[in-house]
């Protein structure tokens, strides 16, 4: 494990001014958007350090979002598995039910301070769209959410939520009509009206400054958790883990622990096997490449085209990963491991049955890793980022797995 002295100035030095974390990151943009992203970077640096912005964001987190979220010791679950104490950082208790609201409220407040009128984004399963539509309603901003036609049909409840919150849901009708096409369409839409709008990316991905901004807005999770955990137990956790799709909830809880002697693990979706198209474990099986305006680990074919990915958790099925993760992996500070659909489902039902908490399938991946470590018996205390609640998943799970009797 790297010692903490290497990370003393970490948050200040990473990314560098061009948006690089070591050899990963950057901003690969069409020429007309280069000055636009520079403007966002400059405004962010100015605004985000102002006392007014900071106190507004703190107030919003406390009064609107429900922060701080608690840290909870899963005593019953830990007893069942034996050997370790498992703790959860309850990001599922945020308003709208997941961590995504942490960066959406930050991006919305930034837009407001910059004098923008509209928030623009893409969404896959609709979770980011709902969180951003919530932020737009809160700040009185317009909101355009681009979504693949196929996803619109599949994710009906989230489409209805976004519309009720006042957002325009704009279908992406070309290609496979899913997330990738939604990103293309959202960028096209943004290019037409960037003067009065801001693009809000849904994770620690995309061109600089988004991996940095989203990370900074999410870092509250780890800073709260560290203080709460030490207050509860008198010590730091042995292991901190989180699920990694793009990587925002993971970086959110990781950052505060980077300088500490704590093992940090990112959990990737192993899906139904390690063949191409059966998983979305970009760090484990990917190679360096460029997608969506940034360079990172990418699941790609010989031509550099992104491969098809799969996970039971729609929030995790992205063929790349935030550039900061690629850096933290390369320098050995953070380990990455893989959890299959089946392992995640076992953890899902265990948390329901032993603790009375229905987790998001994404978050169940992180919990499954904690169960694996508890069974191995080599970790005393494990802190899991429970990134979201599972209400959105129950119909699908019930159809496929019933009430989970097979896991007990
Ligand atoms: C979107 C989502 C994720 C995955 O996104 P990250 O950027 O990797 O955090 C994980 N958990 C929940 C509940 C989500 O909604």
Average the pLDDT over 158-184 and give the result. 93
Index of the ligand 1 atom closest to the CA of residue 214: 7
- Ligand 1 lined by 248 (C-beta under 6 Å): yes
* pLDDT, the chain, mean: 95
Among residues 340, 317, 341, which one has the least CA distance to residue 397?
341
Query: How far does residue 313's CA lie from ligand 1's centre (Å)?
Result: 9
Strand partners, 86: 382
Please state, in angstroms and rounded to a whole number, the distance separating the CA atoms of residues 371 and 265. Answer: 13
Give the sheet arrangement for strand 381-386, strand by strand: 71-73, 85-90, 381-386, 239-243, 263-271, 334-340
Q: What is the DSSP letter of 167?
A: -
Tokens 């919003």, residue located: 60
Query: How far does residue 245's CA lie from ligand 1's centre (Å)?
Result: 6
- pLDDT confidence of residue 215: 98
Average the pLDDT over 226-255 and give the result. 98
Average the pLDDT over 329-351 and give the result. 98
What predicted TM-score, i.e. pTM, was given to this entire model? 0.97
User: With 70 as the cut, is the pLDDT of residue 7 above it?
Assistant: no
Query: How far does residue 253's CA lie from ligand 1's centre (Å)?
Result: 12
Token pair belonging to 29: 């943009």
Index of the ligand 1 atom closest to the CA of residue 203: 7
- Ligand 1 lined by 362 (C-beta under 6 Å): yes
The residue count for the chain: 408
Query: How far does residue 378's CA lie from ligand 1's centre (Å)?
Result: 27
| 12 CB-near residues (< 8 Å, 6+ apart) | none
Average the pLDDT over 319-327 and give the result. 97
User: With 80 as the cut, is the pLDDT of residue 6 above it?
Assistant: no
Integer-rounded Cα radius of gyration of the chain:
20
- Ligand 1 lined by 98 (C-beta under 6 Å): yes
Tens-digit pLDDT profile for residues 66-82: 999 999 999 999 999 98
Give the sheet arrangement for strand 197-199, strand by strand: 168-172, 142-148, 118-123, 197-199
Tokens 């969180």, residue located: 131
- Ligand 1 lined by 363 (C-beta under 6 Å): yes
**Cα distance from N-terminal residue to C-terminal residue, the chain:** 36
Rounded to the nearest 10°, the torsion over CA 88, 131, 361, 368 is -30
Q: For residue 20, what are the CA distances in angstroms to 23, 182, 292, 325, 334?
A: 6, 26, 15, 12, 18
Please state, in angstroms and rounded to a whole number, the distance separating the CA atoms of residues 43 and 46. Answer: 5
The dihedral sign for the CA sequence 318, 257, 376, 82: negative
HSE of 216 in the Cβ direction (CA atoms, 13 Å)?
A: 22
- Ligand 1 lined by 317 (C-beta under 6 Å): no
Average the pLDDT over 386-391 and give the result. 97
Return the best residue to mutate from 122, 215, 344, 362 for the ligand 1 pocket (most ligand atoms within 8 A of CB).
362
Query: How far does residue 32's CA lie from ligand 1's centre (Å)?
Result: 31
């Amino acid at each position: 494990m790297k010692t903490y002295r290497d990370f003393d100035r970490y948050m200040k030095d990473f990314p560098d001014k061009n948006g690089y974390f070591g050899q990963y990151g950057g901003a690969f943009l069409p020429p007309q958007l280069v000055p636009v992203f520079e403007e966002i970077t400059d405004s962010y640096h100015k605004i985000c350090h102002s006392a007014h912005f900071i106190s507004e964001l703190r107030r919003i987190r406390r009064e609107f979002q429900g922060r701080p979220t608690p840290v909870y010791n899963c005593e019953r679950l830990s007893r069942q598995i034996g050997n370790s104490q498992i703790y959860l950082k309850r990001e599922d208790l945020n308003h709208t039910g997941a961590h995504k609201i942490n960066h959406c409220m930050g991006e919305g407040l930034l837009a407001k301070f910059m004098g923008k009128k509209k928030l623009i984004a893409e969404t896959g399963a609709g979770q980011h769209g709902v969180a951003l539509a919530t932020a737009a309603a809160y700040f009185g901003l317009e909101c355009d959410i681009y979504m693949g036609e196929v996803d619109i049909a599949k994710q009906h409840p989230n489409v209805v939520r976004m519309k009720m919150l006042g957002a325009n849901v704009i279908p992406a009708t070309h290609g496979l009509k899913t997330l990738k096409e939604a990103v293309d369409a959202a960028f096209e839409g943004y290019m037409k009206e960037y003067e009065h709008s801001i693009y809000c990316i849904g994770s620690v991905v995309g061109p600089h400054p988004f991996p940095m901004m989203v990370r900074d807005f999410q870092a509250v999770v780890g800073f709260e958790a560290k203080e709460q955990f030490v207050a509860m137990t008198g010590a730091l956790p042995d292991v901190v883990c989180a699920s990694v799709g793009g990587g925002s909830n993971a970086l959110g809880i990781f950052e505060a622990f980077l300088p500490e002697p704590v093992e940090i693990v990112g959990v990737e979706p192993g899906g139904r096997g390690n063949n191409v198209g059966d998983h979305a474990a970009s760090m484990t099986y990917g190679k360096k490449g460029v997608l969506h305006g940034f360079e990172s680990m990418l699941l790609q074919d010989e031509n550099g085209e992104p491969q098809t990915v799969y996970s039971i958790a729609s929030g995790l099925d992205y063929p790349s990963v935030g550039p900061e993760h690629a850096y933290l992996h390369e320098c050995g500070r953070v380990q990455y491991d893989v959890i299959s659909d089946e392992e995640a489902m076992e953890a899902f039902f265990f948390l329901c049955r032993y603790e009375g908490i229905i987790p998001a399938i994404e978050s169940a991946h992180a919990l499954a890793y904690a169960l694996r470590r508890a069974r191995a018996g080599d970790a005393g205390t494990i802190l899991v980022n429970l990134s979201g609640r599972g209400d959105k998943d129950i119909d699908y799970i019930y159809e496929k797995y019933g009430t989970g009797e097979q896991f007990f």
